[in-house]
Chains A and B, each alone.
Chain A
């Protein structure tokens, strides 16, 4: 029995490691479908709608990449992953791309051997409590029971925060956002902590969102972004520049409303290069010339994705804040398309 289990593990490991090296771009093209890892369900970022269609801010990235590579924004197989399973899924080749509120950290980049292609949401970890708990600061949480998703950076930040402030807490480890929500609403924990955007998204689905508040402390930096396997630079470039295309398009004022007109040719050479009417950027990536146009037509530019899924006019009501263009005082700054 010992031997067969050992063999099983080795087989899995060798297949897993073997998959890491194939040219992902060619694989995706041959398959005609992009396997994209997303959350198990976080409204606004990635969740199936009433018809079972996945939608959300992270889903938008998946669709843009699928459109850029395959010319079809619907050619995506969404693979729900938990905080714990996501990295194994990516490392084993089960998914080509992970777009799941994942924080770019040193050890994930260097030690876990992944490649973060950029940041699509600058975030930080917050705390949510019921208003009637009467807590106004995270430092008042001594002895509280805290719901926390396992396998996340937030689990480690939480331990550090309470340790640094010499206060105690009782962690309740949870696998998915849905379970956390259930436990939190039932009062099995006093506090729910995760990325502030995730808290806002979770709160938006509550029956009475105004009975819950986010505490003022933001205890960490959580740059969330899509990632791919380390070592496949061609594929990494495709995803990186698709994300940059969405950001640049906003900066240059290319929207789904005017893209058809712009694609006919404009007098801004960078727009022309982005949409493939000038230069050969697509060819350099190993894609068709109109890859950028396809990516933008999938769901619009960065601003459109933001406003439609998590922006101020949605129940989640996140303001752009750090996620505004650098020209508006935010951190979004795409390298030039040249």
Chain B
């Protein structure tokens, strides 16, 4: 028997590839792979042949030609003479704006509705049920178009705010103007020393409360290279450095444990100056910034209305505000951890909420004052409101419709997550005398989160992809710019669509990566 199970090696015959179960599965996979590759190759060959015969060889050169069209909502400087690639970047930013805003509001509304739907109050739970069913069962495009129609037809036109017998007025003490072209809200600015268009100061100068200004990235120190028909412009090089620095720092953060240990001399230490993956990551980012700074001839500018020679600007004021906020939140969290510790040890929880609040609010208030924070308010000038932050009705309609629609799905996920937690949990909490609000917040929701997060990811992805319906209301996202007007004006269907797909893919993968990360941190730790 043992002799029989050890066949001699040289007896391998070709037919064994099919008849021998040990090889068959490999054979099938290899054949399938070859077939797939051949089909794929044929598609590419056929496409490029046909395009060549049409005289339309794939090329990305058009990306560096002037776009020729204007875009209303732009987070970076852009005008009709800017290249198509910049129009694409503006589009990507607009997509990201709507995705981020939409995901936040959809989550808030979704969680609220999901919880309320389980309410013991019959009216409330039924109302929430009606909300979920109506929004889930009507296509999102209709909601978007409906929201836009409401935004256009109901609020007053700017001209109704004009004159002595104006029929509309600016609400909330003259700070918010709701018009049928969008909503104008107060716009925060830094640097009270700013000079207005007519050369006068916008605010009483205080000498030093002028803000930090913007970093002008003007790329004067860098040259353009050509590579496979691609122009590697300074902007592209900038993003290459930024993106690789981010990737490098993420890798360092994940796998940096070993590096950190060896830098610490190969042993665990508790020294406050020890190397940690987080600190390594910061170091990588700092080095990248210094490299960029020296490469690109960055300078600080305080220009009125932002138009300057730079490729783009980064607001130092804003970065500082974010940095201070992160540090204060971290400190506040440490205070909470300490309070938790004390509670564990002594059974009495010290009251720390006001300290935690102060740690966040006070430094921020001082910082904002020192940076010279001021607001501009909407004013009617000529055809439209000027100043203030203009939230166009295309943005609002899209944001509203996408959030309400996605929130209906999120509400169902939250409801099912809550119902997945065994009743014993809340009964035990009740028995301990916790109020129903606290039971929900402290006992049920944290456990439900584990069930909720994974399906939530796909809803965030859906929202992001649904945002490509933006052009229905004239919101210029990446589908509207690169895969819309640019495609149409240049006739480069294949190139623009491939590029667009790549961009959506990147955004989607980043979202799921971030969410998976979060999921990892809240999921049940099995020890």
How many angstroms from the CA of A143 to the CA of B50 in the assembled complex? 46
Within 8 A of A (CB), among B136-159: 149, 152-153, 157, 159
Taking a contact as CB atoms closer than 8 A, the residue among B47, B491, B505 that contacts A113 in the complex is: B491
Within 8 Å of chain B (Cβ to Cβ): is A174?
A: yes
How many angstroms from the CA of A162 to the CA of B180 in the assembled complex? 23
Taking a contact as CB atoms closer than 8 A, the residue among A1, A143, A182, A231 that contacts B382 in the complex is: A143
How many angstroms from the CA of A174 to the CA of B69 in the assembled complex? 13
Q: Beyond A13-B494, A172-B474, is A84–B488 a contact (Cβ under 8 Å)?
A: yes
Within 8 A of B (CB), among A213-261: 230-231
Inter-chain contact A156/B68, CB cutoff 8 Å: yes
Within 8 Å of chain A (Cβ to Cβ): is B524?
A: no
- Interface hit among B53-61, B119-127, B330-338, B346-354: B53-61
Inter-chain contact A13/B493, CB cutoff 8 Å: yes
The residues of A that contact B56 with a CB separation of less than 8 Å are 17, 113
Within 8 Å of chain B (Cβ to Cβ): is A284?
A: no
Inter-chain contact B47/A151, CB cutoff 8 Å: no
How many angstroms from the CA of A175 to the CA of B43 in the assembled complex? 32
Within 8 Å of chain A (Cβ to Cβ): is B262?
A: no
Inter-chain contact A151/B53, CB cutoff 8 Å: no
Taking a contact as CB atoms closer than 8 A, the residue among B157, B180, B494 that contacts A9 in the complex is: B494
Within 8 Å of chain B (Cβ to Cβ): is A106?
A: no
Inter-chain contact B493/A10, CB cutoff 8 Å: no
Mask: chain B, 457-479; 1 = CB below 8 Å from A; 0 = not: 00000000000000110101000
Inter-chain contact B152/A188, CB cutoff 8 Å: yes
How many angstroms from the CA of A6 to the CA of B36 in the assembled complex? 13
Q: Beyond A5-B501, A7-B40, A18-B46, is A151–B54 a contact (Cβ under 8 Å)?
A: no
Within 8 Å of chain B (Cβ to Cβ): is A50?
A: no
Within 8 Å of chain B (Cβ to Cβ): is A163?
A: yes
The residues of A that contact B488 with a CB separation of less than 8 Å are 83-84, 87, 150-151
Q: Beyond A5-B501, A172-B474, A173-B476, is A155–B43 a contact (Cβ under 8 Å)?
A: no
Taking a contact as CB atoms closer than 8 A, the residue among B54, B383, B505 that contacts A143 in the complex is: B383
Inter-chain contact A143/B480, CB cutoff 8 Å: no
The residues of A that contact B51 with a CB separation of less than 8 Å are 13, 17
Inter-chain contact A145/B181, CB cutoff 8 Å: yes
How many angstroms from the CA of A170 to the CA of B383 in the assembled complex? 10
The residues of B that contact A186 with a CB separation of less than 8 Å are 152-153, 157, 180
Inter-chain contact B68/A9, CB cutoff 8 Å: no
How many angstroms from the CA of A141 to the CA of B383 in the assembled complex? 8
Q: How far is the CB of B187 from chain A (nearest CB, A)?
A: 16
Q: Beyond A18-B50, A190-B383, is A159–B70 a contact (Cβ under 8 Å)?
A: yes
Q: Beyond A171-B72, A175-B472, is A112–B485 a contact (Cβ under 8 Å)?
A: no
Inter-chain contact B393/A14, CB cutoff 8 Å: no
Within 8 Å of chain B (Cβ to Cβ): is A142?
A: yes
Inter-chain contact B152/A159, CB cutoff 8 Å: no
Inter-chain contact B383/A145, CB cutoff 8 Å: yes
Within 8 A of B (CB), among A109-168: 111-113, 133, 141-145, 150-151, 155-156, 158-160, 162-163
Inter-chain contact B491/A188, CB cutoff 8 Å: no
Chain A, residue nearest B46 (CB): A14
Within 8 Å of chain B (Cβ to Cβ): is A285?
A: no
Within 8 Å of chain A (Cβ to Cβ): is B80?
A: yes
Inter-chain contact B472/A17, CB cutoff 8 Å: no
Q: How far is the CB of A194 from chain B (nearest CB, A)?
A: 15
How many angstroms from the CA of A162 to the CA of B480 in the assembled complex? 22
Within 8 Å of chain B (Cβ to Cβ): is A11?
A: yes
Q: How far is the CB of B42 from chain A (nearest CB, A)?
A: 9
Q: Beyond A170-B384, A182-B152, A188-B157, is A151–B474 a contact (Cβ under 8 Å)?
A: no
Taking a contact as CB atoms closer than 8 A, the residue among A16, A150, A158 that contacts B471 in the complex is: A150
Inter-chain contact B43/A7, CB cutoff 8 Å: yes
How many angstroms from the CA of A105 to the CA of B497 in the assembled complex? 24
B72, B80, B149, B488, most chain A CB atoms within 10 A:
B488
Inter-chain contact B181/A188, CB cutoff 8 Å: yes
Inter-chain contact B54/A231, CB cutoff 8 Å: yes
Within 8 A of B (CB), among A10-43: 10-11, 13-14, 16-18, 20-21
Within 8 Å of chain B (Cβ to Cβ): is A313?
A: no
Inter-chain contact A188/B393, CB cutoff 8 Å: yes
Q: Beyond A6-B498, A171-B70, A183-B152, is A156–B493 a contact (Cβ under 8 Å)?
A: no
Mask: chain B, 375-397; 1 = CB below 8 Å from A; 0 = not: 00000011110100000011000
The residues of A that contact B384 with a CB separation of less than 8 Å are 143-145, 170
Interface size on B, residues (CB 8 A): 50
The residues of B that contact A172 with a CB separation of less than 8 Å are 72, 181, 394, 474
Chain A, residue nearest B50 (CB): A17
Inter-chain contact A16/B493, CB cutoff 8 Å: yes
Within 8 Å of chain B (Cβ to Cβ): is A99?
A: no
How many angstroms from the CA of A112 to the CA of B180 in the assembled complex? 38
How many angstroms from the CA of A230 to the CA of B476 in the assembled complex? 31
The residues of A that contact B55 with a CB separation of less than 8 Å are 113, 230
How many angstroms from the CA of A283 to the CA of B489 in the assembled complex? 38
Within 8 Å of chain B (Cβ to Cβ): is A65?
A: no
Taking a contact as CB atoms closer than 8 A, the residue among A133, A144, A156, A187 that contacts B489 in the complex is: A156
How many angstroms from the CA of A83 to the CA of B480 in the assembled complex? 13
Within 8 Å of chain B (Cβ to Cβ): is A91?
A: yes
Inter-chain contact B493/A187, CB cutoff 8 Å: no
Q: How far is the CB of B227 from chain A (nearest CB, A)?
A: 22
Within 8 Å of chain A (Cβ to Cβ): is B484?
A: yes
Q: Beyond A16-B493, A18-B50, A170-B72, is A142–B43 a contact (Cβ under 8 Å)?
A: no
Within 8 Å of chain A (Cβ to Cβ): is B248?
A: no
How many angstroms from the CA of A84 to the CA of B488 in the assembled complex? 6
Taking a contact as CB atoms closer than 8 A, the residue among B46, B383, B505 that contacts A144 in the complex is: B383
Taking a contact as CB atoms closer than 8 A, the residue among B80, B485, B493 that contacts A160 in the complex is: B80
How many angstroms from the CA of A7 to the CA of B501 in the assembled complex? 12
Q: Beyond A150-B485, A182-B152, A187-B157, is A159–B493 a contact (Cβ under 8 Å)?
A: no
Residues of A within 8 A of B (CB): 1-2, 5-7, 9-11, 13-14, 16-18, 20-21, 83-84, 87-88, 91, 107-108, 111-113, 133, 141-145, 150-151, 155-156, 158-160, 162-163, 169-175, 182-183, 186-190, 230-231
**Cβ contacts A to B, 19 pairs, < 8 Å:** A1-B505, A7-B43, A14-B47, A107-B491, A145-B181, A150-B480, A150-B484, A155-B69, A156-B80, A158-B70, A159-B80, A163-B81, A170-B384, A173-B476, A173-B485, A182-B152, A186-B157, A187-B159, A189-B181
Kindly list the 4 A-B residue pairs having the minimum CB-CB distance in the complex, ordered from nearest: A17-B50, A187-B157, A159-B80, A112-B491
Contacts A14-B43, A87-B491, A150-B480 aside, 13 further interface pairs with beta carbons under 8 A come to A6-B498, A9-B498, A14-B50, A91-B493, A141-B383, A143-B381, A150-B484, A150-B488, A151-B489, A156-B80, A171-B71, A172-B394, A186-B157
Residues of B within 8 A of A (CB): 40, 43-44, 46-47, 50-51, 53-56, 68-72, 79-81, 149, 152-153, 157, 159, 180-181, 381-384, 386, 393-394, 471-472, 474, 476, 480, 484-485, 488-491, 493-494, 497-498, 501, 505
